Homo-oligomer: A and B are copies of this chain.
Amino acid sequence: MSDSRQRAVAIAAETMGDLVAFWGFKSSMGRIWTTLYLSPTSMTADELAAVTGLSSGAISMGLTDLGQWDLVAKDPLGEGRKRRYVAETDIWGIIRRIIRERELRLVGRSVERFQQAIGLLEAALAENPDDAEAQWALGRLHGLLALARTGYSLVETFAAVGRLDLLPIRGVLRREEA
């Protein structure tokens, strides 16, 4: 690999690593995927280790993680002893799937937990209806629940982009502006 290409790949891989780290993935996953994505040929684990500077163990784990998200695949044309890997290239498809399978669950759990907190307060108020502070907190808690639900709708809508003809995010947010 030419020195310039090596450096360009390193910059791109590091950039993508930072982006996916911000997204809650391991930055090594971003580095490995990008290295594969920018390679004209499939690559072996030790080639990846050489280019990324990661250890054999980190490469193996990273490839496993990436494989679980279908972000890399084994090269079907690979022959010889060593396995060869290629990057999935449908980036928008990847993003939609991750949003659907991860962010949606995260926000969904938050909705449930806010509901749980509300349930607790309501039970307390049933016993002691004059607790003004609890009444007040209950109102704000309903606000947080509404927020989480709006977030859920947003993520849900976003995850469907490409399947839907129209993206009604505007509608989801308009309701909040009131």
Contact = CB atoms under 8 A, between A and B. Distances in A.
Interface of A: 1-2, 4-5, 7-9, 11-12, 14-16, 18-19, 22, 24, 34, 37-40, 91-92, 106-107, 110, 113-114, 116-118, 120-121, 123-124, 128, 131-134, 136-137, 140-141, 143-144, 147, 161-162, 166-167, 169-170, 173, 176-177
Contacts of A15: 110, 113-114, 117
B19 A110 contact: yes
A136 to B, nearest CB: 4
Contact of A4 (B39, B40, B132, B134): B134
How many of these chains are in the complex? Answer: 2
A19 B103 CA distance: 10
B8 A118 contact: yes
Contacts of A19: 106-107, 110
A174 to B, nearest CB: 9
A117 B1 contact: no
A8 B137 contact: yes
A131 B5 contact: yes
A114 B8 CA distance: 9
